[in-house]
């Protein structure tokens, strides 16, 4: 299988670079293919002849999206549509990623694929529209919703919490519930889903529901710092430009039928992740 991986400078794209034999994949950055320029897409596909395009490129600045919705839409919606159209024309498989933030957080249980989305912020709306455009343009497209992505290769929520605890400490929101997803685990599960011919919307996250506060204390303790330097607070006590769902826990009603093994509990993967960040000097 010949893969084209887009967005390779981010957490997920980097994870795919470790998961796929480089002889079977091309890893493209923005300098190689500018997704904002749709005229570049068809020639690039024609030149490199991939069998599967996996799009990891995304606008993920949730709060900033409230001030620049057009920029967020250009990447999360319009570029996704252009890729879906181009891959469909050439008979190439297409995978792209979406988010738990397509839901409003009011459901009293985890969200599954058939639950109705209702995003409460610009970021979620642009990702949901990207889903719609991908599936409309490419009948075989696979849209993977995931949540709270962290990795051992990039600065992220984990590194921010360790820096916070190493300084004066602070407050972390304790009433937003979700499932952290380890980028390397997600990459492996995505490739499994592709091998099994999955299409449509699929939820893939690590197991283990938590809150931002509980996750923060967990990683701070793994980093050898005092978790008591972090204190819980409510969403109302920590206002942000973008609203966030109180419950964005994702579950799947599809993975068992597809034969995809559930991703491990995130707590089982966290020690390796923290060690990796430490080795890379990203915890200081």
Q: Which residues does the annotation mark as catalytic?
A: 123
Contact between residue 113 and residue 257 where contact means Cβ atoms under 8 Å apart = no
Angle at alpha carbon of residue 247, lines to 244 and 156, rounded to 5°: 60
- C-alpha 69/C-alpha 251 separation (Å) is 28
* Angle in degrees, 0-180, between the axes of helices 79-90 and 41-48, rounded to the nearest 10: 40
Distance of CA 7 to the CA centre of its chain: 12
- C-alpha 18/C-alpha 255 separation (Å) is 24
Contact between residue 113 and residue 142 where contact means Cβ atoms under 8 Å apart = no
Q: What does the buried/exposed string (b/e) look like for 24-43 if buried means 16 or more CB atoms within 10 Å of the residue's CB?
A: ebbbbeeeebebeeeeebee
List the structure tokens of 135.
């599936």
List the structure tokens of 145.
């919703």
* Sequence-separated (6 or more) residues with CB below 8 Å from residue 23: none
Backbone angles phi, psi at 40, to 5 degrees: -85, -20
Contact between residue 158 and residue 273 where contact means Cβ atoms under 8 Å apart = yes
Angle at alpha carbon of residue 187, lines to 183 and 192, rounded to 5°: 150
């Amino acid at each position: 299988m010949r893969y084209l991986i887009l967005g390779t400078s981010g957490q997920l794209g980097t994870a795919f670079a470790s998961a796929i034999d480089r002889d079977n994949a091309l890893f493209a950055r923005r300098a190689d293919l500018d997704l904002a320029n749709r005229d570049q897409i068809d020639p690039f596909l024609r030149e490199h002849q991939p069998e599967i395009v996996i799009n990891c490129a995304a606008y993920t600045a949730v709060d900033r999206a409230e001030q620049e919705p057009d920029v967020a839409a250009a990447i999360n919606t319009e570029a996704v549509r252009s890729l879906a159209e181009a891959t469909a024309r050439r008979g190439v498989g297409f995978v792209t990623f979406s988010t738990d933030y397509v839901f409003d957080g009011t459901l009293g249980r985890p969200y599954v694929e058939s639950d109705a989305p209702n995003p409460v912020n610009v970021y979620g709306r642009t990702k949901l529209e990207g889903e719609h455009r991908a599936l409309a343009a490419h009948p075989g497209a696979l849209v993977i919703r995931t949540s709270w992505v962290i990795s051992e290769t990039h600065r992220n929520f984990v590194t921010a919490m360790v820096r916070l605890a190493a300084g004066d400490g602070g407050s972390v929101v304790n009433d937003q519930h979700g499932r952290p997803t380890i980028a390397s685990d997600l990459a492996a599960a995505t490739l499994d889903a592709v091998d099994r011919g999955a299409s449509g919307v699929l939820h893939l996250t690590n197991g283990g529901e938590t809150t931002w506060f509980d996750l923060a204390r967990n990683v701070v303790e793994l980093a050898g710092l005092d978790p008591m330097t972090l204190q819980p607070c409510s969403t109302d006590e920590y206002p942000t430009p973008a609203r966030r769902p109180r419950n964005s826990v994702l579950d799947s009603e599809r993975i068992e039928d597809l034969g995809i093994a559930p991703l491990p509990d995130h707590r089982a993967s966290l020690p390796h992740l923290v060690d990796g960040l430490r080795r890379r000097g990203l915890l200081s």
